[in-house]
Structure formats: C-alpha cells, structure tokens
Amino acid sequence: MMVAESMSGLRGELSSNEPMSAHTSWRVGGPADQCYRPADLEDLQQFLATLAQTEPVTWIGLGSNVLVRDGGIRGTVILPFGGLDTLEITAAGRLRAGAGVACAKVARFAARAGLTGAEFLAGIPGTLGGALAMNAGAFGGETWPLVESVQTLDQRGELHRRSPAEYRVGYRSVTGVENEWFVAAELQLQAGDSSAAQARIRSLLERRAATQPTRQPSCGSVFRNPPDDHAARLIESCGLKGEQIGGAQVSHKHANFIVNLGTASAADIEALIRYVQEQVQQRQGIRLQTEVRIIGEFE
C-alpha cells in the first residue's frame, strides 16, 4: 500500500488491485479495484468525500464473515481495522468502541474496566463494525442488546448518530437506515467483578478452541441455525463432516465450519457451501441459509 498524501492531504493507505486473500480469514479472494485503510475517522470522512456517489463501496473488517469470489471486488474496499480504533469509557459509564476494533479486544477492555455483559464478544472473530452489521453472536449472547447508540457515516463523509429504534434487528440480521455504515457504537454494560469477567472470557476461549477449528483458515459459522435446531447437527447427520471439494473441507471438528486446507479457491468453498445446502435439503427437508456474506465477481 502507499500513503495517499497526494489526495487532498489524506493520511491513510491506498492500494490498487489489492488481493482480498490478504484480508479474509479464509485466505481466498481476488483483487479489489482499490482499497483504503484510513488513518482515523476524520481521514475516512475526507476520503469518502473524494469518491463519486456512484462508486461501489464495500467494507471488510477482519474478513471473518465474508467469502470474496476469485474475480475480486469492483469499486472501493474500506479496511477499518486499526484505523477506527476508538476504545474508551464515556463520562456516562458506557463503553464506546470504533468499528475497526476487534470484538475480542472490546470484550477484554470491558472486563478489565469492571464492566460485564460483553464477554461473549471474545468468541466473535471479527470487528465491532461487522458485529453491528449482522447482529453477530456467540455463546448465547448477541451484539445489539448491548447497543445504546451507533455512529454512522454516509458516502458523502457525513456523520450521524442513530438509536437502536431506527433499525430492525433479528437473528444475524440488521436492516433499517440505508446507505450508511457503522463507524462506532456506545454499549451499555453492567458494573461487575473484573476478575470474574476475565475468567469467563478465558473459559469461553478455551471452549471455542476445543470445539472449533481455530487453527485452520475459516470464516466462522457458515450457516445460520434454523429455528429450534442447529446447522452443525443437520450437516453432521447427513454424514458431511470431512466432505471436500478442491482445497475446501467441511471441518471434522465442527460441521458448520468449512476450512481451507491450504489450496482452496473461493470457487471451491462456494461449491462446497452449495453442496452442503443441497444435501441437507434433500435428506432433512431444510434449506440452510448462509450466515457468511458471499460477494465479488466470478473469475
């Protein structure tokens, strides 16, 4: 990447034909036309103001809930991780975090500050911005019940403050205000025992390591859980653990994970997703819906 100094005093990093395999947890994905990693929120506002209103803009945090196809992404990709990194306790006692902060870091910060209720965030392998966009959850907790307010940014670079009442929030679903992106949130947590909260985080991470293929490239859970059931149970009941297409494999450790064995293409992973959907529908009569976002162009 190069520093975008020549563009109206911008301080972030701009690159062209940036391989998305470097920015996704599956380690696959073709090139984006251009990527911008902002220095901070003000820098991002200035950058967005330079773009045409018709420019396609895609945000990718830690790339843990996205499959970028091998043909890459047209338009501009924003990489907020490391730039939108606000993390503080406000005068009102709320936790304010930027969209580029890893969920696990939010959980640890809250626990050290003696605030409880966010421990489950340690099990979400993405940024807070991604968690807000999809109401991410883990270990029985979900993101939006914690949200007091959000700060958003539109493509003109203008900031807005929004309340949860302006959004329709469901299981792994958030809709409402269009053409704005989450850049920060204030979370309402409870005062509690810091040591107990930190111990709970350690326990959750140990549980995650024991039950999920954390040492292999994956996107986290691929499919949403159907009502009153679990996608992993349905997939395993069809005998699909270990099923493989190219370098993509249904994890032996957790059936709702697809791992990259090292040679997978995005096409391999997408083909395996479709195969699992077809098999579960044929054998169980249930069409699994993807939790992972599939974006970009076919090669």
Domain boundaries for CATH 3.90.78.10 within the chain: 231-295
Q: pLDDT, tens digit, for every residue of 64-76?
A: 999 999 999 999 9
Q: How far apart are CA 229 and CA 216, in angstroms?
A: 26
Task: State the Cα–Cα distance between residues 68 and 265, nearest whole angstrom.
Answer: 10
**CATH of span 2-78:** 3.30.43.10
Question: Which runs of E-coded beta strand occur in 190-275?
Answer: 190-191, 244-245, 248-250, 258-260
Residues designated catalytic = 172, 221, 291
CATH class of 231-295: alpha beta
pLDDT at 1: 52
Give the model's confidence band at 7: pLDDT under 50 very low, under 70 low, under 90 confident, else very high. low
CATH 3.30.43.10 domain span(s) along the chain? 2-78
Average pLDDT over residues 3-13: 73
Q: What is the mean pLDDT of the chain?
A: 96
pLDDT digits 0-9 by tens, 29-57: 999 999 999 999 999 999 999 999 999 99
DSSP assignments along 48-99, one per residue: HHHS-TTS-EEE-SSSSSEEE-TT-EEEEEE--TTTS--EEE-TTS-EEEET
- Residue 193, both tokens: 């025992």
**How many CB atoms are located within 10 Å of the residue 170 CB?**
11
CA distances from 51 to 7, 35, 286 (A): 11, 12, 43
Strand partners, 153: 159, 181
CA distance 38 to 14: 9
Confidence of residue 8 (pLDDT cuts 50, 70, 90): low
What is d(CA 232, CA 92) in angstroms, rounded to the nearest whole number?
41
Residues of the chain within CATH 3.30.465.10 domain(s) are 87-211
Helix axes 103-112, 194-211, angle to 10 degrees: 150
Mean pLDDT of the region 163-189 = 97
Report how far residue 224's alpha carbon sits from residue 170's, in angstroms, rounded to the nearest whole number.
12
121 three-class SS? helix
pLDDT digits (tens, 9 = 90+) for 71-121: 999 999 999 999 999 999 999 999 999 999 999 999 999 999 999 999 999
Per-residue pLDDT averaged across 273-292, rounded?
98
Is 3.20.20.210 the CATH number for 87-211? no
pLDDT of residue 4: 54
What is the predicted pLDDT for the residue at 9? 86
Helices (H) and strands (E) in the chain, counts: 6, 21
